[in-house]
């Protein structure tokens, strides 16, 4: 029988990557660098920004993510474990009724999704969520 | 003000009935004389609202044996907390005497000898009798089904769930939520749900394409019960497309979505709900965590992880009720709701001793009618257990049923290694009992039962075991999927449940040679229940049947191949 592993166990490429890419410092620092480029090194506080993402991705190739922060002029979204972490930057004008955005992103493996908001007063806010990318298969 | 805890009034159905006894020496007659239906159902009606909870029946229309787990490890904040307490510790915690009816119903110890005394449990005709007796005292009691109802037997498979739908409809539930139902395929689920005479709820059942709520599965429904406005919010199994084959229901998306749960609670409160009930298929630890995050839920009726708890667990102002599986228990929860809030409750987990509770004749007849076309197939005897061999599944690691299934995979599929899913359903077989075709289907039946055979490297096998272990032992319950560890045949390993993913599993050994699994070497692996589309192979129930038929009498070597550390 010519079953490949892919077909048998529903493994995305993400899962193969998982074994070898755990805790890659290079990618984490890519995200840190990108964040520093936005904030210019200013202090970032937690809270005041909502990031909604599934705890476990149903499909790592298209993961719905939603961000909102009242009073934000800009919200940047990062997938810290992807080869290219920058996902999107939402910009809001003074007349924007809702400072929120949503999109779907591809996640290479289990990782933190990070959102950074630049507020009207020039301060920065941060939220992050761990999204697990898994083989699955044995629900009770 | 009186706290709700002061109102905590629970009773362990059977423990209260009579006192101590020694181990093992049970005659069926004695058990029947001591246990009566009246005593099992005894309940001082309380307050103004009654809830009746059944869940995870897994298509068990007829009475069965079901051994509770001996190993049920809690991690992180749930280490040592219920439901992660088993055996003697469990009996001590709840004041249950060894050898008592409650010990038989709720813990694993001395299972086969107690089972011979107390008999089978469950049977939806008996469940119907219990429901009828509750409705006799509380006509507007709400019957709520936590799901995993239309899956798990020969007849359910062959009728695509219709046998269960017909029988459950006769019990007249008020609402239901879902899990394995979706493995019938979305077309079939939609067809059944469109015709259901009761509410199909799931605040977390979404349209996958637009990521928005569906019309077929509303988030909640209001009921008027005892003059109280009750809102029941449904919570389906959050990880359906991950734990089960998502390609069978690609139109649907799930997830915990606790922010939306909070929105729904706020919405029903603002519409005047005096009592908010969450009918959940989250699993117990997920429900506990959700109860700590979402405010305003009075009662969570918890399903999925198959735990049977003689008392509700209180988290903040929310009580969580766990009602077991396979038709073995019915929970009754009476509530005192006044001035728009829950002031107190009385609860009873009622074990369905099938020899004690009189079947409802109408439902018994209806059940037999569902089975009639298949009786010859169901009753065919394939083999028999040896005089000292019990077959069971439930527990975090291999049960004896799993050992037998893995043996069948290795010998029938000529593999080095077998993998079998860590599902929590599947009744038990006593020593010296015939194994019928129905029994085999009870532990294997599903819509994706192909038994595959493939090659895997040692490294890849390790990834598989680590991945599944994290679904069970991740310290954050929101990352747990509620199944048990994948069962293995042909290999042994050591697992440290306290370690993070990637370093829990060590010392993987190929049992037939005693050699360590080589990460770069390729092994022949047989398994079943792959979530991937296009999996090929014979059906697992045929593989197991062929193996049992060849063996005749089933006698398994004790399995000591998994070493558990950190529990």
**CA-based nearest distance B430→chain A, Å:** 23
Restricting to B residues 190-229, those with a Cβ less than 8 Å away from any Cβ of A are: 208, 211
Of A19, A132, A137, the CB nearest to B479: A132
Give the integer Cα–Cα distance in Å for B306 and B341.
29
pLDDT of residue A134: 86
Give the right CATH number for A7-131 from 3.30.70.1350, 3.40.1030.10, 2.40.50.140, 2.60.40.2470. Answer: 2.60.40.2470
Contact list, A81 vs chain B (CB under 8 Å): none
Report pTM: 0.91
pLDDT of residue B204: 98
ipTM of the complex: 0.83
Half-sphere exposure in the Cβ direction for A134 (13 Å, CA): 33
Which residues in A have their CB inside 8 Å of a CB on B? 1, 3-10, 15-16, 18-19, 22, 52, 54-59, 64, 110, 130, 132, 134-140
Residue of B nearest to A15 (CA): B463
Is B471–A18 a contact, with Cβ atoms under 8 angstroms apart? no
Structure tokens at B84: 């992660």
CB proximity B453 to A under 8 Å: yes
Share of residues in chain A with pLDDT > 70 (%): 76
**CA-based nearest distance B2→chain A, Å:** 36
Identical fold for domains B4-369 and B380-565, yes or no, is: no
Q: Count the Cβ atoms, other than its own, within 10 Å of residue B424.
A: 25
Q: Count the Cβ atoms, other than its own, within 10 Å of residue B3.
A: 9
pLDDT of residue B30: 46
Report the topology of domain B380-565: 5'-nucleotidase;  domain 2 (3.90.780)
pLDDT of residue A137: 57
Closest CA to B451 of B485, B416, B412: B412
DSSP-derived pairing of the beta strands B142-145 and B175-176: parallel
Q: What is the pLDDT of residues A74-128, one digit of tens each?
A: 999 999 999 999 999 999 999 998 999 999 999 989 999 999 999 999 999 999 9
pLDDT of residue B24: 32
Of A18, A55, A64, the CB nearest to B479: A55
Kindly tell me the burial class for residue B539, based on how many C-beta atoms sit within 10 Å of its own C-beta (0-12, 13-18, 19 or more): middle
Structure tokens at B378: 């169901």
Give A15's pLDDT tier (boundaries 50, 70, 90). Answer: very low
Is B481–A56 a contact, with Cβ atoms under 8 angstroms apart? yes
CB proximity B281 to A under 8 Å: no
pLDDT of residue A5: 40
Delimit the domains of chain B by residue range: 4-369, 380-565
Q: What is the pLDDT of residues B317-352, one digit of tens each?
A: 999 999 999 999 999 999 999 988 899 999 999 999
pLDDT of residue B142: 98
- Whether omega for the bond prior to residue B83 falls within 30 degrees of 0, making it cis, is yes
Helix axes B162-171, B361-371, angle to 10 degrees: 170
Of A3, A6, A15, the CB nearest to B452: A3
pLDDT of residue B33: 59
Mean pLDDT of chain A: 82
Give A1's pLDDT tier (boundaries 50, 70, 90). Answer: very low
Of B422, B502, B531, the CB nearest to A10: B531
Residue of B nearest to A65 (CA): B211
What's the sign of the alpha-carbon dihedral B548, B551, B556, B559?
Answer: negative
Average pLDDT on A62-84 reads: 95
Contact list, B212 vs chain A (CB under 8 Å): none
Give the right CATH number for B4-369 from 3.30.70.270, 3.60.21.10, 3.30.70.20, 2.40.50.140. Answer: 3.60.21.10
Contact list, A132 vs chain B (CB under 8 Å): 470, 479
CB proximity B483 to A under 8 Å: yes
Closest CA to B281 of B483, B468, B142, B474: B483
- In chain B (567 residues long), the average pLDDT of successive 10-residue segments reads 39 33 36 79 95 98 98 96 96 94 95 95 98 97 98 98 98 98 98 98 96 96 97 97 95 97 98 98 98 98 97 96 98 95 94 97 98 98 98 97 98 96 97 98 97 95 94 95 94 97 97 97 96 94 98 96 94
User: Taking 50 as the threshold, does the pLDDT of residue A24 lie above it?
Assistant: no
User: Taking 90 as the threshold, does the pLDDT of residue A11 lie above it?
Assistant: no
Residue B416 DSSP class: S
Residue of B nearest to A64 (CA): B211
Give A9's pLDDT tier (boundaries 50, 70, 90). Answer: very low
Please state, in angstroms and as integers, the Cα–Cα distance from residue A60 to each residue in B81, B460, B464, following that order.
Answer: 33, 19, 17
């Amino acid at each position: 029988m010519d079953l490949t592993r892919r077909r048998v166990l529903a493994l995305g490429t993400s899962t193969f990557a998982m074994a070898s890419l755990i805790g890659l410092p290079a990618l984490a620092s890519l995200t840190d660098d990108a964040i520093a480029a936005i904030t210019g090194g200013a202090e970032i506080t937690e809270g005041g920004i909502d990031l909604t993402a599934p705890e476990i991705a149903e499909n790592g190739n298209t993961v719905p993510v939603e961000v909102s922060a009242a009073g934000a002029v800009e919200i940047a979204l990062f997938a810290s474990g992807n080869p290219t972490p920058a996902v999107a930057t939402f910009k809001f004008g003074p007349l924007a009724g809702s400072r929120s955005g949503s999109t779907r992103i591809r996640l290479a493996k289990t990782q933190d999704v990070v959102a950074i908001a630049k507020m009207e007063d020039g301060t920065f806010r941060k939220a992050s969520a761990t999204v697990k990318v898994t083989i699955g298969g044995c629900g009770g | 003000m009186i706290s709700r805890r002061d109102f905590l009034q629970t009773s362990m159905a059977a423990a209260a009935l009579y006192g101590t006894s020694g181990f093992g020496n049970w005659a069926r007659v004695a058990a029947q004389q001591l246990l009566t239906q009246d005593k099992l159902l005894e309940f001082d009606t309380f307050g103004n609202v009654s809830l009746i909870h059944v869940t995870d029946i897994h298509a068990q229309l007829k009475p069965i044996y079901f051994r509770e787990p001996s190993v049920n490890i809690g991690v992180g904040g749930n280490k040592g907390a219920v439901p992660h307490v088993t055996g003697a510790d469990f009996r001590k915690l709840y004041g249950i005497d060894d050898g008592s009816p409650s010990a038989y119903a709720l813990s694993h110890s001395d299972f086969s000898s107690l089972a011979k005394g107390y008999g089978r449990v469950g049977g939806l005709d008996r469940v119907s009798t219990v429901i009828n007796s509750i409705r006799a005292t509380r006509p507007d009691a709400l019957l709520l089904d936590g799901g995993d109802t239309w899956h798990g037997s020969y007849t359910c498979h062959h009728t695509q769930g219709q046998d269960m739908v017909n029988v459950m409809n006769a019990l007249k539930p008020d609402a239901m939520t879902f899990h394995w139902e979706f493995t019938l395929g979305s077309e079939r689920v939609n067809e059944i749900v469109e015709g259901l005479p009761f509410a199909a709820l799931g605040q977390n059942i979404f349209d996958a394409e637009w990521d928005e709520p569906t019309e077929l599965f509303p988030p909640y429904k209001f009921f008027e019960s005892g003059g109280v406005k009750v809102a029941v919010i449904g919570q389906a199994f959050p990880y359906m497309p991950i734990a089960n084959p998502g390609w069978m229901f690609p139109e649907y998306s799930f997830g915990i979505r606790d922010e939306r749960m909070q929105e729904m609670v706020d919405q029903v409160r603002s519409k005047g709900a005096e009592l908010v009930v969450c009918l959940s298929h989250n699993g117990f630890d997920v429900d506990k965590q959700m109860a700590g995050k979402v405010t305003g839920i009075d009662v969570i009726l918890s399903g999925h992880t198959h735990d049977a708890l003689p008392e509700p667990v209180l988290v903040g102002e929310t009580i969580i009720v766990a009602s077991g599986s396979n038709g073995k228990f019915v929970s009754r929860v009476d509530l005192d709701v006044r001035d728009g809030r829950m002031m107190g409750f009385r609860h009873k987990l009622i074990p369905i001793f099938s020899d004690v509770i009189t079947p409802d004749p109408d439902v018994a007849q209806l059940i037999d009618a569902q089975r009639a076309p298949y009786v010859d197939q169901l009753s065919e005897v394939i083999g028999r257990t040896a005089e000292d061999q019990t077959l069971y599944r439930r527990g975090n690691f291999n049960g004896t049923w799993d050992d037998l299934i893995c043996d069948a995979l290795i010998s029938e599929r000529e593999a080095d290694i077998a993998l079998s899913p860590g599902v929590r359903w599947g009744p038990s077989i006593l020593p010296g009992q015939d194994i019928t075709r129905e029994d085999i289907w009870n532990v294997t039946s599903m819509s994706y039962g192909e038994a595959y055979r493939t090659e895997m490297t040692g490294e890849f096998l390790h990834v598989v075991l680590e991945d599944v272990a994290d679904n069970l032992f991740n310290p954050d319950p929101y990352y747990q999927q509620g199944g048990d560890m994948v069962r293995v045949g042909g290999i042994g390993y050591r697992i440290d449940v306290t370690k993070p993913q990637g370093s829990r599993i060590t010392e993987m050994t190929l049992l037939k040679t005693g050699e360590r699994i080589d990460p770069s070497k390729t092994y022949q692996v047989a398994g079943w229940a792959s979530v991937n589309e296009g999996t090929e192979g014979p059906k697992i129930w045929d593989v197991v049947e062929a193996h049992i038929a060849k063996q005749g009498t089933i006698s398994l070597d004790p399995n000591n191949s998994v070493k558990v550390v950190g529990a």
